Structure 1
Amino acid sequence: MNQLTSIVQQGLTLVIMVSLPPVLMALMVGLIIAVFQATTQIQEQTLSFAPKLITVFLLLALMGPWMGSQFARFTTLIFEQFPVLIR
């Protein structure tokens, strides 16, 4: 049971670690766009959505191999520990 808890904890940590860069980039771009809109008084909805979407897609394209390798490493770890877990 202790090993199962450890695997779940590692999985949650991995999800946070992998999802943090896109979320932070969207937050920063959103903040920059919000400041720009507030100073220019432009209230266009697509002006805030499109740059965030493009930034997140570019970041996912750049960091995709790293994210995939982290998930593959974790999956390998689970399958290596599976015989111990089912005993």
Structure 2
Amino acid sequence: MSIGDITTLLQRGIFEVLLLAAPLLVSALVVGLVVAILQATTSIQEQTLTFVPKVVIILLVLGFLGGWMFSSLGDYTVQLFRMIPSMAR
């Protein structure tokens, strides 16, 4: 296995992690921004007001996209295991 193969393998792994984490992070970011704007306009500074909506939206996104995330990660893992014999040469 050459340096180029290892680099490609690492790039694909990083891309897979970013692809799977992006929907969760973006949804939490959007909800946090909306809650922060609401807190700034109403002068309510309750800590749980920022935490609870983020947890709820992350659970909803996981509920909707969990199947896709699991199958994508499973496909990537199967590809990695199929590459093991060529790495041993």
Same fold (TM over 0.5): yes
TM range (shorter): over 0.9
The structural deviation recorded for 1:9 is: 1.0
Checking the alignment, whether the CA contact within 8 Å between 1:30 and 1:52 is kept in structure 2 is yes
Distance in structure 2 (CA, Å) of the matches to 1:16 and 1:67: 11
2:88 maps to 86
Runs of 5+ in structure 2 lacking a partner? none
The equivalent position to 1:10 in structure 2, one of 3, 9, 12, is 12
How does the TM-score come out when normalised to structure 1?
0.95
2:50 maps to 48
Distance in structure 2 (CA, Å) of the matches to 1:23 and 1:58: 13
The equivalent position to 1:77 in structure 2, one of 70, 76, 79, is 79
Q: How many residues get paired? A: 87
When the two chains are superposed, the root-mean-square deviation of aligned CA atoms in Å is 0.9
Describe the superposition over 1:33-57 as per-residue Cα deviations: whole angstroms up to 9, x where unpaired. Answer: 0000000001111011100111001
Distance in structure 1 (CA, Å) of the matches to 2:23 and 2:37: 21
The structural deviation recorded for 1:7 is: 1.4
Checking the alignment, whether the CA contact within 8 Å between 1:29 and 1:51 is kept in structure 2 is yes
Report the 3-state secondary structure (helix = DSSP H, G, I; strand = E; otherwise coil) of the residue aligned with 1:20.
helix
- Percent of aligned pairs with the same amino acid: 39
